[in-house]
């Protein structure tokens, strides 16, 4: 049995790092709590790994300095497509 982290665990770490200095304006809670809760809900409903990973990363493009190429390189095209589909265009 391997001790290597799963892709979901890697995405959790990635999201925690990307949002590490951010807090929610509404209540001051750590920003990453929302993506973690989204991913938890989707896991309980049986969604595939790429959807769960995208849930963890869904605010990364919108609210951090992480480039989409970084997400593509680490998690693949499908995850990036999902993340881009739910990212608010702030232009």
**Residues with catalytic annotation?**
62-63
* Residue showing tokens 């265009």: 89
Contact between 38 and 55 (Cβ < 8 Å): yes
């Amino acid at each position: 049995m391997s001790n290597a982290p799963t892709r979901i665990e890697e995405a959790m770490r990635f999201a925690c790092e990307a949002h590490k200095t951010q807090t929610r304006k509404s209540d001051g809670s750590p920003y990453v709590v929302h993506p973690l809760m989204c991913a938890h809900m989707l896991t309980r409903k049986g969604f595939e790994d790429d959807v769960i990973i995208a849930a963890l990363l869904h605010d990364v493009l919108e609210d951090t300095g992480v480039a989409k190429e970084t997400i593509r390189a680490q998690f693949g095209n499908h995850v990036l497509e999902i993340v881009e589909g739910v990212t608010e265009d702030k232009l």
